[in-house]
Amino acid sequence: MDVALPVIPIRILRSLTYLALGLLVESCSPSVKLQPATAQDILREVNQSRGSQAVLVNVWATWCQPCVEEFPLLVKLDRRYDQLQTLFVSADFPEDKSRVVQFLKRQGVTGISFLKDQSDQAFIDGLSPDWSGTLPFTLVFGKESGTVVARWEGKRTQEQMEAAIRLAIQN
């Protein structure tokens, strides 16, 4: 006895295959957790690494073109230096959380990243009173000292970033 199978157009089968593959890749990709944080929360995270790792804090946003341009370099440097912990802090609005998570995933970031959960001025003053609020903003903390060894507003070259990281690892 022959059973007639339904005929499914190839374009629908192809779409279902791509959807299934996309879901499989999504479920297998490492997770990103975006945690709300104040400036004090970020500084507490920095203090927890004192003595074991230098820390680079990068404040960025998906709507900030220089931030987006430098982001792959920061991810690359984070992977290159075992003695470096990088804290990514998004200055995006809370309603843009899903866009931030998708951006982080596309960049290969895993684990915990942060979403600013404080008024702009309170966050700026709490993180670094000398900071004008310009993005991207980066602070680099010494491994042993836990103090700021480098800070900058705007983008930097790989050489400049690596010099700051090496200084922080030795400090």
Q: In 3-state terms, what secondary structure has residue 153?
A: strand
pLDDT at site 56: 98
pLDDT at site 4: 53
The more confidently predicted of residues 8 and 161 is 161
pLDDT at site 123: 98
pLDDT at 166 over 80: yes
Could you give the angle at the alpha carbon of 50 between the alpha carbons of 49 and 51, nearest 5°? Answer: 110
Q: In 3-state terms, what secondary structure has residue 31?
A: coil
pLDDT at 19 over 80: no
Return phi, psi of residue 63, to 5°. -90, 0
CATH topology for 30-170 is Glutaredoxin (3.40.30)
pTM strictly above 0.85: no
pLDDT digits (tens, 9 = 90+) for 30-75: 699 999 999 999 999 999 999 999 999 999 999 999 999 999 999 9
Strands 84-90 and 54-60: parallel
Give the residue extent of every domain in the chain: 30-170
pLDDT digits (tens, 9 = 90+) for 64-117: 999 999 999 999 999 999 999 999 999 999 999 999 999 999 999 999 999 999
Q: pLDDT exceeding 70 applies to what percent of the chain?
A: 82
Question: What confidence tier does 2 reach under pLDDT thresholds 50, 70, 90?
Answer: low
CB atoms within 10 A of CB 132: 8
Scored b (16 or more CB within 10 A) or e, 141-171 reads: bbbeebebbbbbbeebeeeebeebbeebbeb
